[in-house]
């Protein structure tokens, strides 16, 4: 498996993409870009990632199925009608099939499944629901669930994203299902988060029984959490009480790395946030808005030695204060 491109290479790829995307690149710029692209496989991988982010941002209207379908149609048309695109975009998508090479790596099947969910949220949206049994449920950003409550049982299927559930008293068994297994609360308040090939469960009150696809079961008590895949259950660890603050739209930072804060904040806005390694380890304290990521970035820029720029609508750069983007002459 090829290693991920470095933050530096991603920043360079975004700068080149912004220049070419604007359609204002000179012939000399195009030659330099080609030089840069062919200089290493890492540059190719960085370029593919930037393109993939752009494509997924174009699909960001997928929060609305009808709008997403229209976006897909426009995208297909752009692929067929190269001559209708500006010179820069023709160059971007015309090099060795790079433009769409990474599309298979996108979470499109999950997105499509989420469109048909009984309850869902878009990027940056947090929603509270009152369930038929009196339980309260919060959906985090980009979350989709199906619910099935009948006379004998209560079932919540987490398709994608994260939920916080405060259960009500009810004799019917309640099950939260993910792709990796099931969570059965025993009178409790807990979160369930879908993370690629694993599920993270954190318990803040009561306890839950977690069963993975291999039928292994573990009880998770108050103040503990576990992560599990279909094949394995990880050992218990302490659950951070501040983690559930997301249901109030707040990200609580208690001496965490800037890169870790940005990784979480990035879930609440479309596009990608690239953090330079020179500032990735800065320590962050305080409470920050999750539902207003632009405001949070502006606040971080005031309290930390960083500068925030946005060369593209869907690409944000965080660099050391005073740093400037350099045009590559390779």
Same-domain status, 137 and 173: yes
Q: Does 118 map to a domain?
A: no
The CATH number of whichever domain residue 301 belongs to comes to 3.55.50.30
Please report which confidence band the pLDDT of residue 85 belongs to, taking 50, 70 and 90 as the band edges.
very low
Biggest distance spanned by C-alpha atoms of the chain: 72
155-203 pLDDT, tens digit per residue, is: 999 999 999 999 999 999 999 999 999 999 987 999 999 988 899 999 9
Q: Please give the tally of structural domains in the chain.
A: 3
Q: Where are the alpha helices (DSSP H) in the chain?
A: 7-21, 27-38, 41-58, 65-80, 87-93, 98-101, 108-115, 258-265, 277-280, 293-303
- The size of the chain, in residues, is 330
**Would the pLDDT of 326 be above 60?**
no
Q: Does 255 map to a domain?
A: yes
Domain boundary residue among 215, 241, 267?
241
215-225 pLDDT, tens digit per residue, is: 889 999 999 99
Same-domain status, 184 and 167: yes
Q: Does 215 map to a domain?
A: yes
The CATH number of whichever domain residue 187 belongs to comes to 2.60.120.1440
In this prediction, residue 52 carries a pLDDT of 75
Q: Does 326 map to a domain?
A: no
Same-domain status, 186 and 107: no
Q: Does 122 map to a domain?
A: no
Q: Angle at the Cα of 271 (from 4 to 114), degrees rounded to 5?
A: 100
% of residues, the chain, pLDDT over 70: 78
Closest CA to 112 of 148, 146, 159: 159
124: left (phi over 0), alpha (psi -120 to 50) or beta: left
Same-domain status, 224 and 278: no
291-312 pLDDT, tens digit per residue, is: 999 999 999 999 999 999 988 8
Q: What are phi and psi of 241, to 5 degrees?
A: -60, -30
Same-domain status, 135 and 237: yes
Domain boundary residue among 85, 113, 141?
113
Please report which confidence band the pLDDT of residue 59 belongs to, taking 50, 70 and 90 as the band edges.
low
Q: Angle at the Cα of 79 (from 78 to 84), degrees rounded to 5?
A: 45
Same-domain status, 227 and 131: yes
Across residues 61-90, what is the average pLDDT? 42
In this prediction, residue 259 carries a pLDDT of 96
Domain boundary residue among 91, 113, 135?
113
**Would the pLDDT of 90 be above 80?**
no
Closest CA to 123 of 267, 257, 4: 267
In this prediction, residue 45 carries a pLDDT of 85
Q: Does 330 map to a domain?
A: no
**Would the pLDDT of 114 be above 60?**
yes
Domain holding 84, by residue range, is 7-113
Same-domain status, 264 and 296: yes
- Rounded-to-integer distance, Cα 189 and Cα 209, Å: 13
In this prediction, residue 296 carries a pLDDT of 96
Same-domain status, 108 and 32: yes
- H or E stretch at 316: strand 315-320
265-278 pLDDT, tens digit per residue, is: 999 988 889 999 99
Same-domain status, 105 and 43: yes
Average pLDDT, the chain: 81
Same-domain status, 237 and 258: no
Same-domain status, 100 and 185: no
Closest CA to 199 of 145, 171, 158: 158
In this prediction, residue 72 carries a pLDDT of 41
In this prediction, residue 223 carries a pLDDT of 96
In this prediction, residue 116 carries a pLDDT of 74
Same-domain status, 31 and 106: yes
In this prediction, residue 236 carries a pLDDT of 97
Q: Does 120 map to a domain?
A: no
């Amino acid at each position: 498996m090829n290693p991920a491109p470095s933050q530096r290479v991603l920043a360079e790829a975004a700068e080149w993409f912004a220049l070419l995307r604007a359609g204002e690149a000179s012939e000399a710029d195009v030659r330099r870009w080609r030089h840069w692209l062919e200089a290493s496989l890492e540059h190719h991988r960085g370029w593919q990632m930037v393109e993939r982010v752009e494509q997924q941002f174009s699909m960001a209207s997928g929060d609305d199925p009808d709008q997403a379908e229209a976006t897909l149609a426009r995208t297909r048309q752009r692929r067929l009608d190269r001559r209708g695109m500006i010179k820069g975009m023709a160059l971007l998508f015309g090099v060795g099939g790079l433009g769409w090479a990474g599309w298979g790596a996108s979470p499109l099947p999950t997105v499509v499944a989420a469109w048909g969910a009984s309850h869902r949220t878009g990027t940056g949206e947090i929603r509270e629901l009152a369930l038929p049994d009196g339980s309260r449920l919060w959906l985090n950003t980009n979350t989709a669930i199906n619910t099935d409550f009948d006379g004998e049982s209560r079932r919540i299927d987490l398709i994608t994203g994260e939920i916080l559930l405060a259960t009500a008293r009810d004799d019917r068994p309640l099950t939260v299902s993910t792709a990796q297994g099931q969570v059965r609360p025993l009178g409790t308040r807990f979160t369930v988060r879908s993370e690629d090939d694993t599920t993270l469960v954190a318990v803040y009150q009561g306890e839950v029984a977690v069963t993975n696809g291999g039928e292994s079961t573990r009880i998770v008590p108050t103040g503990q959490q576990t992560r599990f895949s279909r094949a394995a259950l990880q050992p218990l660890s302490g659950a951070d009480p501040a983690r559930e603050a997301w249901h109030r739209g707040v990200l609580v930072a208690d001496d965490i790395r800037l890169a870790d804060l940005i990784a979480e904040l990035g879930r609440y806005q479309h596009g990608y946030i690239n953090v330079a390694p020179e500032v990735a380890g800065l320590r962050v304290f305080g409470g920050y808005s999750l539902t207003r990521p632009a405001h949070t970035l502006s606040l971080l820029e005031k309290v930390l030695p960083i500068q925030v720029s946005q060369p593209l609508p869907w690409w944000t750069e965080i660099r050391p204060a005073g740093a400037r983007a350099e045009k590559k002459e390779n």
